[in-house]
Structure 1
Amino acid sequence: SGKTWSTLMAVLLQISSTTAMSITNEEREFFIALGERIARLRKEHGITQTQLAERLGVSQQTIQAYESGKRRIQVAALPELARLLSTTLEELFGQQQETTVRKRGPAPKWQQQLEAIDQLPKSQQKFVAQMLDALIAQATTKASSEGREILQ
């Protein structure tokens, strides 16, 4: 909800402005859980720590520290992190129920490929789309001719 979201952001802003020595156990647990979710989502998308680090403009060691909960993530980096992991900030913060049934959609491998295509420049996206159209047309033609052979 909006209230939960604004409260969470206020807490994060307060946390990010405090020193490392003053972190509470509750805050520590939050960052450990956040790091675990980041690691899980990163792995689900087939992204390495190094790749994620490059896309965020940080070191691989920083990503490792985020994932282990040893380092707090800058609040300003969270929206980009969520985008790179194809998730919402709410899910990243553990606010969304993960027990929801997955809607019919692309299989995980297809989803990864679609996301990779989405990262390409527009001209390359157009080329990939044209190649896919040609392959689908070829497969459809082959399938229909094989179907005719079976009927004869």
Structure 2
Amino acid sequence: MAASISSEEQVFMTELGNRISALRKDAGLTQAEMAQALNVSQQAVQSWEAGRRRIQIPILPAVAKILSVSLEGLLGEEAEHIPRKRGPASRLEQQIEVISQLPKARQKMVAEMLDAVISQAQQQETGS
């Protein structure tokens, strides 16, 4: 069912792919990390970024959320700036967002690792 696409649609897909790639890199994510957070293959992310494959509409909100951008911003419809806190999301906020997209078992594993690191850091601070 490979319907031919118009040149206008191809331009849109290429521009969307470029935006996804730039936003992903700004967020400090690899294609593999983004793919895992979205539960798709790394090849799918690569194909979206190259403009070779249409991104499924139902996945767009999750992509926007992971990349800390509005849906309008992701689609290139630079609407009036939506009020949000100043500056881009911190690296930690971006990581938390990616973690929140992981399966519950993986979230628990990450939380346990963080607890261990925090506990160790607190012990070092107190000289224990």
- Do these two structures clear the TM 0.5 threshold for a shared fold by scoring above it? yes
Q: Across the two proteins, how many residue pairs are aligned to each other?
A: 109
Pairing of 1:111-122 with structure 2 (within 5 A): 111-118=90-97, 119=99
Give the structure 2 partner of residue 70 of structure 1: 52
1:95 matched to 2:74? The reply is no
| Percent identity (aligned) | 43
- Residue of structure 2 equivalent to 1:4: none
Distance in 1 (alpha carbons) for counterparts of 2:35 and 2:69: 17
Aligned runs of 1:1-150 on 2, under 5 Å? 19-96=1-78, 104-105=86-87, 111-118=90-97, 119=99, 124=111
Give the whole-Å Cα distance in 1 for the aligned partners of 2:38 and 2:96: 19
**Structure 1 letter corresponding to 2:71:** L
Tell me the distance in 1 between the aligned counterparts of 2:48 and 2:27: 17
CA-based RMSD: 3.2
| Normalised TM-score (structure 2) | 0.68
Unaligned runs of 5+ in 1: 1-18, 139-152
Query: Would the alpha carbon gap of residues 104 and 53 (structure 1) be closer, same or farther in structure 2, given more than 3 Å must change?
Result: closer
TM score, norm. by length of structure 1: 0.59
Distance 1:71 1:98, change over 3 A: farther
State the structure with bigger RCO (CA 8 A, min sep 6), 1 or 2: 2
Give the deviation of 1:63 after TM superposition.
Answer: 0.6
Gaps of 5+ in 2: 101-106
* Cα distance between partner residues in 1 of 2:44 and 2:28: 19
Q: Which amino acid aligns with 1:41?
A: L
In the alignment, residue 56 of structure 1 is paired with which amino acid?
L
SS of alignment partner, residue 95 of structure 1: coil
Contact 2:72 2:79 survives alignment (8 Å): no
> For residues 64 and 98 of structure 1, do their structure 2 counterparts lie closer, same or farther at Cα, with a shift above 3 Å needed?
farther
Preserved contact between residue 18 and residue 49 of structure 2 (Cα < 8 Å): yes
- Larger helix proportion of the pair: 1
